[in-house]
Amino acid sequence: MSHHVAVVGAGLIGRAWAIVFARAGFDVALTDVSADALAKAGETIEASVYDLVTAGLVQNAGFTTQIRYESELGAALAGASYVQECGPEILPAKQALFAELEAASTPDTILASSTSGILASDFAAGLAHPERCLVAHPVNPPYLIPLVELVPAPATDPAVVERARALIEAAGQVPITVHQEITGFVLNRLQGAMLNEAMRLVGGGYVSADDLDNTVKHGLGLRWSFMGPLETIDLNAPGGIADYAARYGPLYAGMAESQAQAPDWSESAIAELEHARRERLPATELAERQAWRDRRLMALAAHKRDMDNTDPEN
Amino acid sequence: MSHHVAVVGAGLIGRAWAIVFARAGFDVALTDVSADALAKAGETIEASVYDLVTAGLVQNAGFTTQIRYESELGAALAGASYVQECGPEILPAKQALFAELEAASTPDTILASSTSGILASDFAAGLAHPERCLVAHPVNPPYLIPLVELVPAPATDPAVVERARALIEAAGQVPITVHQEITGFVLNRLQGAMLNEAMRLVGGGYVSADDLDNTVKHGLGLRWSFMGPLETIDLNAPGGIADYAARYGPLYAGMAESQAQAPDWSESAIAELEHARRERLPATELAERQAWRDRRLMALAAHKRDMDNTDPEN
């Protein structure tokens, strides 16, 4: 079945969503209030897709013909069963945009926001049909990192969550469902737990910023790139996760007490981190390193695709 | 320069260290109080090395001839400049073993423990020369996961830490230095921060155990397998880590308040996790899945080796 979707907002995230949906064979309408942004989007998308072809992640760039560029919101939403909103992260702006999306669509159209921080309860509160609204938060860039967090509001219809989950899966992504609204959703809460402990350990003088990163990229992060933290501990004791928790649960519960201490995000702590990072990588080389990161992500995506094909659980 | 090292304890970790050191061209003496364990160690080591050859991680198994099996501690330690202790994780047993290691070695021999939880302050307290003792904590298995945490006690000579760091690097591993003793060192504190938040989110009904693992293996864990969490955020804002912290520091500091709540490691919470994992993977298939994990780790190690060769920072 071919899906018709609209992507509202042609910035970094909107363009990436357009690639994801078109790559999966969907019909995609991309729109933006800025005619200039929309006019430039095609070229940027072609460049990103060229990189994917070069990395062997897609066979050719032909699928970009499935993206049409619409300057009018109404024309973009016509016939779409799913709308991916990628507007500014400002609550009143999002509320106004969702009112426009509601006016331009039928009540059974799913309206999903890419927001990383605003709750559907807040941006959809004033709508006549909030039951078809939810958050579908991607990781940047979604054509390389498949996770999408679906976060319904209490008002969201459970059937809408199921339809959104099926559509995100059909798009080749990996949806998770966050059952109750919570600040940071799940991904950024886990990242926050990690960063907050990193701030305590680096700020407290236990370890350098560089060695902290080494601990993850040459240690912890290896298994986590193909198993989660729970499967990791399930396989780390002879009797599985219950056996592991009986052995090490008290250790982690004890750690939680010292991890309850507020991490230091003060200006001076940040200045020290900035100093450590700039010694490792001058500010002038940030852009080049970001391009390196994207090449590594592409190579890892190709590696994982090949390996996942041999994983009996997939 | 060829290093002469002794590995004391021929269990899982001791055998893995023997492989690491021999692979790097070191002369290795492996010893164990159990003649039976020592007699079986060679065969198990050959099997592990066969897997490494098959995965293309080493060219051939010839280096195992550099491991000699010594039933007497004194013979194993003769001529060794570095001892890697891999005995039981029981404080009195470790103290007794370190007294034996001290008696059988010259005072300039480095005595390093593989312990994941006992501090050098505790196991080396009664020695005449505690200044050459420290923790060198590997991740299992160290021939696939290169990180080694070096954790000196206040009594440890800084020159010993530097010598240990150089030797661990020469062995092809990645050492980090933990400057002050702390429960769980760095790696398990970061893992603990992650697991404690996982317990809060799964236990609180926000997300299923399966979706929590998906969030990491299809999201967060990808970048962390080749960058640390600090480099990740350094590259996630136009102006680097200080820019990122200015934008999102308050969000993470705010999260830290709710993450100060004690995670639930109760028997009923663990029983729910166990149920979720056993639905995904029956207990009878744990061993098979562990073998799959090791194959994935080997493939990832090969992938990272190839990619790291192109990383200008390495």
Considering only CB atoms, B228 lies closest to which of A216, A236, A259, namely A216
Q: What is the CATH number of the domain that holds A38?
A: 3.40.50.720
A208 contacts B221? CB cut-off 8 A: no
Q: What is the pLDDT of residue A309?
A: 77
At B75-106, the pLDDT tens digits run 999 999 999 999 999 999 999 999 999 999 99
Please tell me whether residues B137 and B250 are part of one structural domain: no
Please tell me whether residues B164 and B246 are part of one structural domain: no
**Count of helix runs (H) and strand runs (E) in chain B:** 13, 8
Q: Is B296 part of any domain? A: no
Q: What percent of chain A has pLDDT over 90?
A: 97
Report residue A67: phi and psi, to 5°.
Answer: -100, 120
Residue type, B168: I
Q: What is the pLDDT of residue B310?
A: 72
A1 pLDDT above the threshold of 70: no
Q: What is the pLDDT of residue B1?
A: 59
Nearest CA to B148 among B156, B137, B140, B160?
A: B137
Please tell me whether residues B63 and B167 are part of one structural domain: yes
Q: Looking at beta carbons, which residues of chain A come within 8 Å of B271? A: 242
pLDDT confidence bin for A313, thresholds 50/70/90: low
B12, B37 Cβ separation under 8 angstroms = no
B217 contacts A256? CB cut-off 8 A: no
ipTM: 0.96
Q: Cα(B242)–Cα(A69) distance, rounded to whole angstroms? A: 36
A241, B213 Cβ separation under 8 angstroms = no
Q: Is A285 part of any domain? A: no
B198 contacts A213? CB cut-off 8 A: no
Q: What is the CATH number of the domain that holds A273?
A: 1.10.1040.10
A133, A120 Cβ separation under 8 angstroms = yes
Nearest CA to B153 among B182, B110, B117, B114?
A: B182
Task: Tell me if residue A137 falls in helix, strand or coil.
Answer: strand
Q: Cα(A173)–Cα(A175) distance, rounded to whole angstroms? A: 6
Q: Looking at beta carbons, which residues of chain A come within 8 Å of B178? A: 206-207
A212 contacts B228? CB cut-off 8 A: yes
Q: Is B313 part of any domain? A: no
Q: Is A48 part of any domain? A: yes
Considering only CB atoms, B300 lies closest to which of A215, A222, A296, namely A222
Task: Tell me if residue B138 falls in helix, strand or coil.
Answer: strand
Count: domains in chain B: 2
Please tell me whether residues B158 and B227 are part of one structural domain: no
Cα dist from B58 to A208, B23, B61, B67, whole Å: 32, 8, 8, 16
| Most A-contacting residue of B161, B180, B235 (CB-CB within 10 A), to test interface | B235
Q: Is A241 part of any domain? A: yes
Please tell me whether residues A154 and A226 are part of one structural domain: no
> Mean pLDDT in chain B?
96
Please tell me whether residues A104 and A28 are part of one structural domain: yes
At B247-262, the pLDDT tens digits run 999 999 999 999 999 9
Q: What is the pLDDT of residue B17?
A: 98
Size of interface A-B (CB pairs under 8 A): 378
pLDDT confidence bin for B168, thresholds 50/70/90: very high
A150, B207 Cβ separation under 8 angstroms = no
- Of A129, A150, A177, at which residue does a domain stop? A177
Please tell me whether residues B146 and B25 are part of one structural domain: yes
Please tell me whether residues A50 and A109 are part of one structural domain: yes
Nearest CA distance, A246 vs chain B (angstrom): 9
A217 contacts B225? CB cut-off 8 A: yes
- With b for 16 or more beta-carbon neighbours within 10 A and e for fewer, the A223-249 pattern comes to bbbbbbbbbbbbbbbeebbbbbbeebb
Q: Which two tokens stand for residue B288?
A: 């098979």
For the residues of A45-85, what is the DSSP string, one character each? HHHHHHHHHHTTSSS-SGGGGGEEEESSHHHHHTT-SEEEE
Q: Is B300 part of any domain? A: no
Considering only CB atoms, A225 lies closest to which of B204, B225, B235, namely B225
Range of the domain at B207: 187-280
Strand partners, A27: A4
Higher pLDDT, A163 or B2: A163
Whether the full predicted model's pTM is greater than 0.90, yes or no, is: yes
Q: Is A299 part of any domain? A: no
At A74-122, the pLDDT tens digits run 999 999 999 999 999 999 999 999 999 999 999 999 999 999 999 999 9
Q: What is the pLDDT of residue A314?
A: 58
Classify residue A115 as left (phi > 0), alpha (psi -120 to 50) or beta.
beta
> Mean pLDDT in chain A?
96
Q: What percent of chain B has pLDDT over 70?
A: 98
Please tell me whether residues B89 and B201 are part of one structural domain: no
Task: Please give the average per-residue pLDDT across A222-247, as a whole number.
Answer: 95
Q: What is the pLDDT of residue B296?
A: 96
pLDDT confidence bin for B64, thresholds 50/70/90: very high
Q: What is the pLDDT of residue B313?
A: 65
Please tell me whether residues A78 and A191 are part of one structural domain: no
At A251-282, the pLDDT tens digits run 999 999 999 999 999 999 999 999 999 999 99
Please tell me whether residues A106 and A191 are part of one structural domain: no
B165 pLDDT above the threshold of 70: yes
Q: Is B311 part of any domain? A: no
Q: Cα(B218)–Cα(A95) distance, rounded to whole angstroms? A: 30
A29 pLDDT above the threshold of 80: yes
Please tell me whether residues A104 and A193 are part of one structural domain: no
Q: Cis before residue A88, ω within 30 degrees of 0? A: no
For the residues of A111-136, what is the DSSP string, one character each? EEE--SS--HHHHSTT-S-GGGEEEE
Nearest CA distance, A291 vs chain B (angstrom): 10
- Of B123, B155, B177, at which residue does a domain stop? B177
Q: What is the pLDDT of residue A256?
A: 95
